[in-house]
Structure 1
Amino acid sequence: MTTSLYFIVRLIAAWFVAFLVLAILIDATPLGYFDGWPLTFLFFVTIGFVVIGAVSHLRRVRLIAGQVDAGTLGNRQRRQIEIPFEAGEAFDLLDAAIRELPRTEEIESARDSLQIRAKVKRLEPYGHSPSRYVNPLALFGIPRNQIQATVTPADGTGSVTLICEPESGAWSDWFRVDDGTNLENAEAITRAVARRIAERRRGEKAAAAQTVTEKELTVAKLSLLHAQVEPHFLYNTLASAQYLTRTDPARADEMLGHLIQYLRHSLPRTDDALSTLGVELERSRAYLEILKLRMGPRLALQIDVPEDLRTTPLPPMMLQTLVENAIKHGLEPKPGGGTVWILARSNDRIVSVTVADDGDGFNAESTGTGIGLKNVRERLRLVYGNAATLAIVANFPNGVAATITVPVVAPGTGADAQEPGHG
């Protein structure tokens, strides 16, 4: 109450002083002999409109801000807004918020200096009242407000200084009120910035949730592949071992040993943690050794993987998928069989793992669905983003070569990847 009363008294005092100075000036001129009642009448009419305008201003400020104090009553409003984006993004967000204000015009946006200036045509909050034609204050009307905003770069954020004020000098604040229009502009820009930040956050959360869902689905698929031993492969291996127990017990024992090794590495994992190139190589070697015993001279195997690369983190089942593709779609359909190569090389913190064959290649009529390779690509994207790739090319002179390229250290694994135990 005291603040409101002081605000009204201050305006009355300013106009009283203005009329007093005007009366002194008139009295000092040849016009001073005129009766002073017209000036006195004009003074009381003006004071009446000043009080009415001040009370309306107080009521409107209370409606906009919910409270009346020295900060909300002023014609000039200052806001400090912290935007949790880098300065360029903060500037774009602020620029869009200012441009959306009603009746905004003459916008000057300087991205290099991170400054925005704009004029806002003032809207009559109470419409066009007939009293404005007899209101002396209408002669000193201020038709526009102005906005100045500056973004100051900080550590990954943008600090915004926002100023909303009348398009007139500070002296006018002693005589006129802005009917809360600058307070309204400052609040509107602050709300718009907060809304846009919230929208960005919701979008980021939705994208993160989508990524998590995609990862969970892919992990579920890979876990199923990990836990699943192909029935035909298992049946054929056991049938071959049963036959060899009668004809060649030593080979039967060797085959069962490879099968045990393969099954040990194919047990379901309790989480989606990365495996290593060494562990995945042992699984694939066991698989190929079993097939060598079954296919005989139709299958040859060559492995060239340096020992220091075997600790490279690698998602499980990826290498196995490429090896199975080489057998099923490359060598098994080929009457004479062929060779499978598994190679690994490193270059500038990047490891490339290649599975190649000299089978029928792209000319063969494939019976596959492509799900395995699709899962490999999806898992690479989820684990490494754009830092990993899968390339499928023709091998010379025959066959296909598939190459997985991954960083030496996977995201979130630390500098030293440890090869997990086999259990």
Structure 2
Amino acid sequence: MTSFFFIFRIALAWATVATVLAITAAETLLSDRDCGGSLLLLVLGVTGFAAVTAFSHVRRVRLLTGEVDRATLDSRQRRQIEVPFEAGETFDIIDAAIRELPGAGQVDSARDSLQVRARIGAVPPYSGGAAWLFTGHASPGGNQIIAIVTPNGDAGSVTLICEPERGAWTDWFLVDAGGNLENADAIGRAVARRVAERRRGEQVAAAQTATEKELTVAKLSLLHAQVEPHFLYNTLASAQLLTRSDPARADAMLGNLISYLRNCLPRTDDALSTLGQELERARAYLDILVIRMGPRLRLQVDVATQLHGALVPAMMLQTLVENAIKHGLEPKPGGGTVWIIARVHEGALALTVADDGRGFCAEGGGTGIGLRNVRERLRLAYGGGAGLTIVSNYPCGVAATISLPYSDAGAAAAQERCHG
């Protein structure tokens, strides 16, 4: 029924105009009063031609969409497209989609006002045929597209208008053979494709990041599987010797070892801990080494109590302390001091482990695997919001500093959980 009324409307409009022109011509221009039959045939021919053209339009719209209604038959198409990206990204997507349309000519885009206007050549779907005189495709004019992006929080809403470059009143007489319907659908498909591509890219990046994180955790697990047993065997061997010569020191060493393992074993390498827990682990480790190294090892801790609840990655402080001992103080005949210092500045926690050992030297400098793993873990956990710096310590030794995001509220909540 919709198709019938559409064809009837177009035919009636042309019949009315043709009748008015025929009557005017008969009364003012023609002297032969017997030409009424010829004029009637002309009116009927124009009406029939218009009806056939409208019928062709209906059939083509049905071919494009599979259904026919007032919205699809209209030569002027309006769409509302929601894009799950912010307005700037939405504008880039819609601008690119319009530029890639077949027949796209002049495209004027204004990023500041989030608006795109374009002229699209009206390409007849079928070549030749005088019927296109009634579709507007034979005229030099074409179609135009107007796209306006409206910010909607973290998303963008696009108002899309596809219409012929002629007055709206001409829609009573002319059709576009579904040209603007094609343009509107093509832009919608292009936007959907680009959004899907962006989502796939995000999924691939997330999967790659997850894979990198898994590999890093695997490397860290392998590293600790090699380092921790070595430390454990040395400690047990030292305790065994002390049981014969100094049982009290052996007992203290084993107590510190139990404390160290209690803080160390239950956690995974990529878990978040608190600075207080990491200090307990480091103290237990250093207390063991104090028994082994004697007065050659000294410890100074400068960490405010309110910072004990700060969230830090597990085992990072331990890695820096182990590096300071293994590469700085243990090879030095006179030993030295390890400093653990924590400060907060402009929303960042700076955790420093310094020593006055041998410093940067070619002998026994290590492979750097531990520090590379620290940097990789910081990158995966915080992106560019965290980092590790290593500098010379005056007058000798090395100072390594981890910088992390810090929140008073987060530190307080972590402290409450620890005490709870």
State if a TM-score over 0.5 links the two structures. Answer: yes
Across the aligned residues of Structure 1 and Structure 2, the Cα RMSD in angstroms comes to 2.5
- Contact 1:109–1:117 (CA under 8 A) maintained in structure 2: yes
* Aligned CA distance change for structure 1 residues 185 and 415 (closer, same or farther; 3 Å): farther
Mapping of residues 12-31 of structure 1, within 5 Å? 12-31=11-30
CA deviation after TM superposition for structure 1 residue 384, in Å = 2.2
CA deviation after TM superposition for structure 1 residue 173, in Å = 1.1
Q: Partners in 2 of 1:409 and 1:260 — Cα distance? A: 32
| Count of aligned pairs | 417
Answer with 317-326 or 208-217: which moved more: 208-217
- Contact 2:329–2:336 (CA under 8 A) maintained in structure 1: yes
Mapping of residues 24-423 of structure 1, within 5 Å? 24-33=23-32, 35-36=35-36, 39-127=39-127, 129=128, 131-132=129-130, 137=134, 141-142=138-139, 143-223=141-221, 230-269=228-267, 272-409=270-407, 416-418=413-415
* Aligned CA distance change for structure 1 residues 87 and 104 (closer, same or farther; 3 Å): same
The one-letter code matched in structure 2 to 1:81 is: I
1:171-198 deviations in whole A, cap 9, x for unaligned? Answer: 2111111010000000000111111111
* Aligned CA distance change for structure 1 residues 58 and 222 (closer, same or farther; 3 Å): same
Q: Determine what percentage of the aligned residue pairs are the same residue.
A: 65
Q: Partners in 2 of 1:263 and 1:278 — Cα distance? A: 16
Q: SS of the residue aligned with 1:416?
A: helix
- Contact 1:77–1:182 (CA under 8 A) maintained in structure 2: yes
Q: Partners in 2 of 1:136 and 1:306 — Cα distance? A: 86
Q: Partners in 1 of 2:30 and 2:411 — Cα distance? A: 92
| Structure 2 unaligned blocks of 5 or more | none
Q: Partners in 1 of 2:412 and 2:23 — Cα distance? A: 86
CA deviation after TM superposition for structure 1 residue 217, in Å = 3.2
The one-letter code matched in structure 1 to 2:120 is: V
| Structure 1 unaligned blocks of 5 or more | none
- Contact 1:223–1:268 (CA under 8 A) maintained in structure 2: no
Q: Partners in 1 of 2:270 and 2:372 — Cα distance? A: 18
1:98-134 deviations in whole A, cap 9, x for unaligned? Answer: 011011011111112211111111112012x2x33x8
* Aligned CA distance change for structure 1 residues 166 and 254 (closer, same or farther; 3 Å): same
Q: Partners in 2 of 1:320 and 1:135 — Cα distance? A: 81
Q: Partners in 1 of 2:412 and 2:257 — Cα distance? A: 34
The one-letter code matched in structure 1 to 2:54 is: A
Answer with 186-195 or 25-34: which moved more: 25-34
Q: Partners in 1 of 2:244 and 2:136 — Cα distance? A: 116
Q: SS of the residue aligned with 1:374?
A: helix
Q: So what's the TM-score if we normalise by structure 1? A: 0.91
Q: So what's the TM-score if we normalise by structure 2? A: 0.92
CA deviation after TM superposition for structure 1 residue 221, in Å = 4.0
* Aligned CA distance change for structure 1 residues 138 and 419 (closer, same or farther; 3 Å): closer
Q: Partners in 2 of 1:121 and 1:390 — Cα distance? A: 59
* Aligned CA distance change for structure 1 residues 271 and 5 (closer, same or farther; 3 Å): farther
Q: SS of the residue aligned with 2:162?
A: strand
CA deviation after TM superposition for structure 1 residue 224, in Å = 5.2
- Structure-2 residue corresponding to 1:11: 10
Q: Partners in 1 of 2:274 and 2:133 — Cα distance? A: 85
* Aligned CA distance change for structure 1 residues 199 and 140 (closer, same or farther; 3 Å): closer
- Contact 1:61–1:72 (CA under 8 A) maintained in structure 2: yes
- Contact 1:226–1:266 (CA under 8 A) maintained in structure 2: no
* Aligned CA distance change for structure 1 residues 368 and 49 (closer, same or farther; 3 Å): farther
- Contact 1:301–1:341 (CA under 8 A) maintained in structure 2: yes
